[in-house]
A and B are shown apart, each in its own frame.
Chain A
């Protein structure tokens, strides 16, 4: 048997496929672009960096004893507000997304409708959440309602995509068997499709709740939604109340961490494909 050899005369153990070549190309491109960006394009003036100030801030960051108890209570309240904003966003997004997810699933509608719905969803998803919020703020003014509606747009598109994919994974045979018995569309959807995709749907909701909490925190500093923990952290940072800022960050961290644990548990029960 002739052994294939590479340019250095060493035997090739494995035939190289297009995938291998593509991966090599990507790795080289990524490294080259990174090197260019880091060392040539970006001229960071290291005298701007001050480890000393950073450390000084850090020391004040964890002095929670200097945060007045009344302030702490206020902050917990705002954290609760932020969580509620996230949950409302998720609920609205999940509900509207469910309706359109059914229309977007290839096995439940005709391909034309599915393509249109999925196209709209991927367009809505491409507009960053913060832009949706800005657009709604321009129309309605800055309130909690506008923040929720703006955030819900992005969630809605997320749910359409993930729900449609979950519905498409439902066993074809089940749907056809029901069709053969003369079941109508609603009977098929509520009798077979939703029940068999339910665990997946729930784990998507859990995953999105985690994301939406983060978004609800972030929306504060970026737009200035009143009464959220993000706004409070931002104001504290600007006013130099580093203890308050540090405490706020810890609150956000604990909440996000607890959510992550719950979501991981839920996802272990029903493996959602990578996303």
Chain B
């Protein structure tokens, strides 16, 4: 056995014999430095500077307070009406999106998809819908549907559909194939198998995802309303456009409350059904 009298002697013979932790630290530092270098190059490219944010903080705060405070509560009834509409649109688009996504997932899942052409077609469609941001959908569909609640509904439903198709096809892939095989052996038809084996097993998860979809639709309703019309986002867009920031602040307060409540309600219900 070779023994070294001291650490320096070891390092003199094997300069790279750093211990495990030092190696790990070195690797970590190298990766961090690399990321930071890339980030600073990128920051310079887009003109991002972090320092002015801290330096100009007092001025920015005064300007913000002057513009947004005090909140103006004079249009609260109109606001509540639009908030209610937002909730309705969120639930409605989530339901439609989830139902369509469920059937699409049946068509593209490995266990239940039987028609290859349909599988490829729907997979392509869902990928296309999912990977184009909803704001872009709003701008684009505006040309065919015109501004308003209906466009907001379509945009939100598309968002839900794109996301949920992926989630549901994974979910159906994971369902127990034993019951499907057992039903197949009894000679049950395709839709009988779906109704008796796949549907009951996946319903609780699907409903919990539908709740999540409602929540995320309410979250995204601000931006969709601004671009597509309909709901509280539309109102916020108008306030922003006419620079009525005190009214905008009130709207934001109620949107935040709505989102917090929706978040809590959906978490509590999901806890109980799963």
Residues of A at under 8 Å CB distance from B?
18-19, 22-23, 26-27, 30-31, 33-34, 36-38, 41-42, 44, 48-51, 53-54, 57, 80-81, 84-85, 87-88, 91, 122-123, 126-131, 134-136, 138-140, 143-145, 148-149, 214, 217-218, 221-222, 227, 230, 233-234, 237, 245, 249, 252-253, 256-257, 260, 274
Contact = CB atoms under 8 A, between A and B. Distances in A.
6 contacts: A33-B91, A48-B146, A138-B63, A139-B56, A139-B61, A145-B53
Given A22-B273, A37-B92, A230-B135, 7 more contacts: A34-B91, A38-B96, A49-B145, A130-B223, A131-B252, A138-B63, A140-B60
A217 B133 contact: yes
A46 to B, nearest CB: 9
Interface stretch (B8-16, B44-52, B108-116, B181-189): B44-52
Interface string B26-39: 00000000010001
Nearest to B230: A42
A165 B197 CA distance: 33
A128 B260 CA distance: 11
Contacts of A135: 64, 68
Nearest to A29: B91
Interface string B48-73: 11101100100111011001100000
Contacts of B56: 139-140
B207 interface: yes
Contact of A252 (B47, B49, B132, B203): B132
Contact of B133 (A37, A51, A130, A214): A214
Contacts of A122: 260, 263
A243 to B, nearest CB: 13
Nearest to A240: B143
Nearest to B84: A41
Given A23-B204, A222-B227, A234-B139, A53 B144 contact: yes
Contacts of B63: 138-139
A263 to B, nearest CB: 11
A18 B91 CA distance: 23
B269 interface: yes
A54 B53 contact: no
Secondary structure of the A side of the interface? helix
A174 B102 CA distance: 42
Contacts of B158: none
Given A34-B91, A87-B39, A245-B140, A144 B273 contact: no
Nearest to B272: A22
Contacts of B3: none
B245 interface: yes
B255 interface: yes
Top 10 A-B pairs ranked by shortest CB distance?
A139-B60, A54-B144, A256-B131, A218-B135, A37-B92, A44-B150, A84-B42, A48-B146, A126-B259, A34-B95
A88 to B, nearest CB: 6
Contacts of A126: 256, 259-260, 263
A149 B223 contact: no
A93 B130 CA distance: 24
B64 A51 contact: no
A130 B45 CA distance: 23
A145 B153 contact: no
B127, B139, B142, B145: most-surrounded residue (chain A CB, <10 A): B139
A69 B108 CA distance: 38
A234 B133 CA distance: 13
Interface in B105-164: 127-128, 130-136, 139-140, 142-146, 148-150, 153
Nearest to B68: A138
A80 B42 CA distance: 9
B235 interface: no
B211 interface: yes
B228 to A, nearest CB: 11
B94 interface: yes
B156 to A, nearest CB: 11
A91 B273 contact: no
Contact of A230 (B64, B136, B273): B136
Nearest to B42: A84
A37 B121 CA distance: 30
A256 B129 CA distance: 11
Contacts of B142: 237
B131, B148, B204, B256: most-surrounded residue (chain A CB, <10 A): B131
Interface string B235-259: 0100010000100100010011001
A41 B131 CA distance: 30
A103 B23 CA distance: 28
Contacts of B133: 214, 217-218, 230, 252, 256
B88 A41 contact: yes
Given A30-B210, A41-B88, A249-B140, A19 B272 contact: yes
A222 B233 CA distance: 11
A87 B42 contact: yes
